[in-house]
């Protein structure tokens, strides 16, 4: 983590010198409390894991404290940014815009820079040159224990999973998929027509990516994955009105540069808000 992308700028309003650099492991404890203030529930392990799967966490720091952060995942053709956050008392002074500008400076020459935003923050990204291209929904299961459908089986990660993920989303991301599989379990449709990754996280259990060639079987797979992830599990889906789900929030995908690829006939759920 020693190789920083340090950049210095001076905030117009109060002439404090800020630096945007790559987070070091010693920063993770502070980032846990920064993100906890937003209710995001990350642990130091999550930041370490993110590092291991090829992610980078950037922090905006003045001389004495970290005042903002963002996480980035570079899939080669698409760079995904997430968890943009500025300390509450520091908001409205241009720090969020500066962090985004640094992401654009680092990754903007790639084909695409992409992110998920809640509706309430989408104006901020649009004001910074991002275009909305897709609606998605944060969902949780309705809670009735349905039991696993007969056609859904537990499986191992193999080349077919990586290939389906690439064909559906256009990302080549073996590190992320392996990292997710190590932390969770993989469910497949019998016959190989789809898969789901289940993250049995203590704090934020979730399901995704979920990909299937058949829409109804894809929904079965998603519900089975959410159930396997346990109570309070969530997923980011692309369709309204899937039976058995509570729709909690609307999300938008936004991008700069080329629009990220997605095969809507296969995509049921994204890997998550932070992973795309
Ligand atoms: C979104 C966020 C990172 C912006 O950081 P910031 O340092 O306050 O942003 P800036 O000071 O650079 O804001 C620049 C402009 O965006 C506007 N803006 C900030 N947050 C906004 C929002 N949520 N919606 C619309 N506009 C917003 C500001 O009013 C400002 O406009 P102005 O220049 O016309 O006055 C910050 O509000 C934050 O941490 N929010 C909570 C976490 C969050 O929701 N992150 C986004 C996850 S999708």
Alpha-carbon Rg for the chain, nearest whole angstrom, is 19
- 50, two tokens: 């993110």
Question: Shortest CA distance to 6 belongs to which of 14, 77, 72, 17?
Answer: 17
Give, in order, the Cα–Cα distances in Å from 189 to each of 77, 109, 170, 173, 273.
29, 38, 21, 22, 24
Pick the CATH number of 137-269 from 3.40.630.90, 3.30.70.270, 3.40.50.450, 3.40.600.10: 3.40.630.90
Band of the pLDDT at 108, cuts 50, 70, 90?
confident
Nearest-CA residue for atom 9 of ligand 1: 96
Question: Shortest CA distance to 236 belongs to which of 93, 134, 112, 89?
Answer: 134
> Where in the sequence of the chain do the CATH 3.40.630.90 domains occur?
137-269
Question: Shortest CA distance to 126 belongs to which of 150, 106, 103, 97?
Answer: 97
Q: Are 77 and 111 in contact (CB under 8 A)?
A: yes
Pick the CATH number of 7-110 from 3.20.20.80, 3.40.630.30, 3.90.190.10, 3.30.465.10: 3.40.630.30
Nearest-CA residue for atom 18 of ligand 1: 124
For ligand 1, what atom is nearest to the CA of residue 122?
24
Proportion of the chain above pLDDT 90, given as a percent = 82
- pLDDT tens track for 58-83: 999 998 799 999 999 999 889 999 99
For ligand 1, what atom is nearest to the CA of residue 93?
11
92 Cα to the center of ligand 1, angstroms: 6
Nearest-CA residue for atom 17 of ligand 1: 124
93 Cα to the center of ligand 1, angstroms: 9
Q: Tell whether ligand 1 has an atom less than 6 A from the beta carbon of residue 120.
A: yes
Proportion of the chain above pLDDT 70, given as a percent = 92
122 Cα to the center of ligand 1, angstroms: 9
Nearest-CA residue for atom 42 of ligand 1: 85
Q: Tell whether ligand 1 has an atom less than 6 A from the beta carbon of residue 119.
A: no
Determine the Cα–Cα distance for residues 36 and 38; give it in Å rounded to an integer: 5
| Stretch 8-18: mean pLDDT | 61
pLDDT value at position 227?
94
Nearest-CA residue for atom 31 of ligand 1: 92
- 145, two tokens: 């224990």
pLDDT value at position 178?
96
User: Between 95 and 274, where is the model more confident?
Assistant: 95
Q: DSSP secondary-structure letter at 103? A: H
pLDDT value at position 6?
53
Nearest-CA residue for atom 41 of ligand 1: 85
Q: Are 220 and 268 in contact (CB under 8 A)?
A: no
pLDDT value at position 145?
64
> Where in the sequence of the chain do the CATH 3.40.630.30 domains occur?
7-110
């Amino acid at each position: 983590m020693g190789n920083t992308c340090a950049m210095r700028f001076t905030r117009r309003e109060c002439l404090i010198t800020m630096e945007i650099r790559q987070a070091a492991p010693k920063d993770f404890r502070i980032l846990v409390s920064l993100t906890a203030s937003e209710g995001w529930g990350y642990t130091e392990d999550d930041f370490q894991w993110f590092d291991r799967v090829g992610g980078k966490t950037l922090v905006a720091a003045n001389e004495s404290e970290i005042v903002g952060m963002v996480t980035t995942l570079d899939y080669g053709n698409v760079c995904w940014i997430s968890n943009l956050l500025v300390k509450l008392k520091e908001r409205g002074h241009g720090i969020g815009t500066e962090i985004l500008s640094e992401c654009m400076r680092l990754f903007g020459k790639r084909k695409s820079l992409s992110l998920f935003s809640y509706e309430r923050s989408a104006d901020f990204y649009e004001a910074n040159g991002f275009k909305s291209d897709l609606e998605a929904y944060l969902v949780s299961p309705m809670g009735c224990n349905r039991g696993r459908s007969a056609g859904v089986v537990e499986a191992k990660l193999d080349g077919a999973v990586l290939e389906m993920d690439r064909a559906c989303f256009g990302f080549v991301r073996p590190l992320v998929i392996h990292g997710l599989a190590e932390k969770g379990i993989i469910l497949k449709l019998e016959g190989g027509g789809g898969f789901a990754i289940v993250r049995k996280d203590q704090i934020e259990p979730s399901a995704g990516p979920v990909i299937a060639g058949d829409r109804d079987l894809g929904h079965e797979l998603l519900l089975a994955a959410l159930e396997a992830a346990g109570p309070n599990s969530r997923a980011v889906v692309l369709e309204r009105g899937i039976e058995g789900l509570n729709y909690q929030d609307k999300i938008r995908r936004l991008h700069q540069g080329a629009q990220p690829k997605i095969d809507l006939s296969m995509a049921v759920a994204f890997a998550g808000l932070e992973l795309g």
